[in-house]
Amino acid sequence: MSHPRDVLLGAQASGVSLPVCDHYSGVEARMRKSLQLQAEMTQEFGTCVFDVTLDCEDGAPVGGEAEHAALVTELALSAAPEARVAVRVHPVDHPSFQADIATIAGKAANRLTHIMVPKVESVADVQLAEQALAQAGAKDLALHVLIESPAAVHRAFDIAAHPRVQSLSFGLMDFVSAHGGAIPAHGMGAQGQFTHPLVVRAKLEIASACHAHGKVPSHCVVTEFNDTAAMRAAAQRAAHEFGYTRMWSIHPAQIRPILEAMAPDAAAIEVASEIVLAARAAQWAPISHKGQLHDRASYRFFWQVLERAHSTGCSLPAEVQLFFKD
């Protein structure tokens, strides 16, 4: 019998699937702890529930960029085979960008899930990153990009359309700073970033651009990392109101609230399981479930619920778990 992934075709079904949490760290001790935590939680959940992105842009000391690039390369190469490790390099116009790519992608491309490029302003910047990867012998390595300015938001649809781009992230702090004080500091907070009109517009544009092209929208940071309630509320709003399917973590305490906020609840998993299994038994013809008609359009939605449940380590019925066996 055919697999749901093979049957439920379309832009949404054929898009990129990534863990819902992207955890950033740039200090050596924290990078090592992040990789260890990833291994522990992979064992706990039975799947890798967050990416670890080793940070060169904010992690490298000024004047020590080359040494930091060598360090993150070493960490990526020494990570467990099942680890999901990425690296954020410097922007394409930074003096260390080419060296970052040559060192990191040139030596560890086969161990990396992607390269994150910050401060992308246009498709031309994506093309520069693509060329640098090709020169480093990493022509197949995926690119994730950070949208951090009003001009970049304006070009988000074009950037998301580039075939090498897998995900767009929203850079909240730089976006607010780019407005020269026109957006108050409150717009960078856990609550204000969901109410200021310019910030809200940017979030929605990025999410819409991603969904239009089958890419993953990744939500920005919450700096109040000691406030678990604020973190959970922000993640829930990002997922349920703004269309984001992935979110940044900048502290280990933020990872589980992100997973919880972006995971479907038990009732949603139960309904999705019933409908997908019944649809498969009907060879994907329309069915009636509890008085409602369902066909491939709704099957696709409910299959996506099950994929998100799996990626966040939720418990699934045994028959559904078989869909995710290698």
Mean pLDDT of all residues belonging to the chain: 93
User: Number of C-alpha atoms within 13 angstroms, CB side, residue 257?
Assistant: 24
| pLDDT for position 227 | 87
User: For tokens 């966040």, what's the residue?
Assistant: 312
Contact criterion met (CB below 8 Å) for 20 and 167: no
Q: How many residues does the chain have?
A: 326
DSSP state of 104: I
User: What is the second-level CATH architecture of the domain 19-260?
Assistant: Alpha-Beta Barrel (3.20)
Which of 110, 102, 11, 113 minimizes the C-alpha distance to 52? 113
Residue 69 has pLDDT above 50, yes or no: yes
pLDDT tens-digit map of 176-226: 999 999 999 999 998 999 999 999 999 999 999 999 999 999 999 898 888
pLDDT tens-digit map of 223-256: 888 888 889 999 999 999 999 999 999 999 999 9
Q: Which of 3-7, 75-79, 168-172, 287-291 has the lowest mean pLDDT?
A: 3-7
Residue 16 has pLDDT above 80, yes or no: no
Residue 1 has pLDDT above 90, yes or no: no
Q: How far is CA 306 from the centre of its chain?
A: 18
Residue 280 has pLDDT above 60, yes or no: yes
User: For tokens 């960029």, what's the residue?
Assistant: 65
Residue 13 has pLDDT above 50, yes or no: no
- Interval 128-140 mean pLDDT: 97
For 77, 212, 275, the CA distances from 208, given in Å and listed in that order, are 35, 6, 27
> Could you tell me which residues are beta bridge partners of residue 50?
21
> Could you tell me which residues are beta bridge partners of residue 217?
168
- Interval 38-67 mean pLDDT: 95
Is 130 known to sit in a ligand binding site?
A: no
- Interval 286-312 mean pLDDT: 92
> Could you tell me which residues are beta bridge partners of residue 234?
none
| pLDDT for position 5 | 79
pLDDT category at 326 given cuts 50, 70, 90 is low
**Which residue type sits at 148?**
E
Q: What's the CA gap between 108 and 180, in Å, rounded?
A: 39
| pLDDT for position 15 | 56
Phi, psi of 273 (to 5 degrees): -65, -45
- Interval 40-53 mean pLDDT: 94
pLDDT category at 171 given cuts 50, 70, 90 is very high
| pLDDT for position 134 | 97
Is 174 known to sit in a ligand binding site?
A: yes
Residue 115 has pLDDT above 80, yes or no: yes
Can you give the residue ranges of every domain in the chain?
Answer: 19-260, 263-320
Is 164 known to sit in a ligand binding site?
A: no
Q: Is 227 helix (H, G, I), strand (E, B) or coil?
A: coil
Contact criterion met (CB below 8 Å) for 42 and 48: yes
pLDDT category at 86 given cuts 50, 70, 90 is very high
In the chain, pLDDT over 90 holds for what percent of residues?
84
| pLDDT for position 2 | 75
- Interval 102-127 mean pLDDT: 98
Task: Collect all residues with Cβ–Cβ distance below 8 Å to 40 and sequence separation of at least 6.
Answer: none
